[in-house]
Amino acid sequence: MILEGKTLAALIRDTLPARAAVCAQKLGRKPKLAGIGWAADYGSYVYLKKEVEAAQKTGIDAQVIDITENTTHAEFLQIIKNLSSSRTIDALLVPKPLPKHLNTLEVWENLAAEKDIDGSSVLSMGRLFMCKNWKEVETMRGFPPATAMAVMKLLEHYKINLSGAEVAVIGRSATVGKPLAHMLTCKDATVKICHSRTKDLAAALQNSDIVISAIGKARFVKSSMIKNGAVVIDVGTNQDAQGVFCGDVDFEDVKNKASQITPVPGGVGPVTLACLLENIIISVERGLEKV
């Protein structure tokens, strides 16, 4: 069975224009997203452009602030502080990973958690890791990282049981692997985190009911690495040697051994975009509740 993400993404997105309109009426202006554009990272730039386009279709204003290798850390930090305190910007999207010449931790420390729709701020990350169960994740202030949330929503949508399940997450980044592993434990899964120093990846994956790959290597996960009937979730977005867009999982090789599998494109990606869009609206709704 193919766990396609487009249907779920459409379900999430369908509710948003009406909610955006209510927000606009109460605010006296449209909700507004500001995104930082770092064109040198082609993947994250394309992603930002898609999000901006989707936001505008939803009734959300969007602005892109481009930075270059000449943008100093001090200048970038000031941009983040200004946007975080702006009364007319409701949501912020900052590229991950940040350009190497910027001090990542200081940026995430100064990003306002209530506007940080991709859950990168130190506050949101800290709050997420304090959660003991799923209810606490769902009600936490700030946001969990959107890609990790998209995977959780896909698993929930397709009714894949996590309680007591053995799950292997390949990848330990702060963007996907680590927060996702923690969120899975909040739904009572037993989680193994694998990475580039895992000695025998195939052996580590063999007993896993669910394998989630977030490594960034085209078609790296083969059928020989997973057990019969495993659920396989592919977070990776890669280009192969021929320039073809593909996931971390060798879909054609794995699809007959897995019981359920996400495609790339059309799996986790569209749900991530939908989660980010919904987070823009949630950030405004939460702000209005406080007034």
Stretch that binds ligand NAP, among 12-20, 59-67, 115-123, 213-221 (CB under 6 A): 213-221
Q: Which of 134, 138, 135, 110 is nearest to 123 (CA)?
A: 110
Determine which helix (DSSP H) or strand (DSSP E) holds 213, and give its type and residue range. strand 210-213
Nearer to ligand NAP, 27 or 122 (CB): 122
Residue 198 binds ligand NAP, judged by CB under 6 A: yes
Q: Cβ 217 to ligand NAP, closest distance in Å? A: 6
Token pair recorded at residue 74: 């001090």
Please calculate the CA angle 93-98-101 and round it to the nearest 5 degrees. 140
Three-state secondary structure call for residue 204? helix
Q: Which of 231, 145, 236, 142 is nearest to 182 (CA)?
A: 145
Q: Cβ 93 to ligand NAP, closest distance in Å? A: 12
Q: Cβ 236 to ligand NAP, closest distance in Å? A: 4
Token pair recorded at residue 53: 């386009």
The whole-angstrom separation of Cα 32 and Cα 91 is 6
Q: Cβ 248 to ligand NAP, closest distance in Å? A: 6
Nearer to ligand NAP, 61 or 248 (CB): 248
Q: Cβ 29 to ligand NAP, closest distance in Å? A: 29
- 253 touches 225 (CB < 8 A): no
Given 11, 26, 43, 57, the residue binding ligand NAP (CB under 6 A)? 43
3-state secondary structure 263-280: CCCCCHHHHHHHHHHHHH
Q: Cβ 160 to ligand NAP, closest distance in Å? A: 18
243 class by beta-carbon count within 10 Å (0-12 exposed, 13-18 middle, 19+ buried): exposed
Q: Cβ 163 to ligand NAP, closest distance in Å? A: 25
Given 84, 121, 237, 262, the residue binding ligand NAP (CB under 6 A)? 237
String marking each residue 165-194 x if it binds ligand NAP according to CB under 6 A? -----xxxx-xxx----------------x
- 262 touches 5 (CB < 8 A): yes
Nearer to ligand NAP, 235 or 249 (CB): 235
String marking each residue 50-89 x if it binds ligand NAP according to CB under 6 A? ----------------------------------------
Determine which helix (DSSP H) or strand (DSSP E) holds 85, and give its type and residue range. helix 73-85
Nearer to ligand NAP, 61 or 238 (CB): 238
Residue ranges in contact with ligand NAP by CB under 6 A: 43, 147, 170-173, 175-177, 194-198, 201, 214-217, 235-238, 268-269, 272
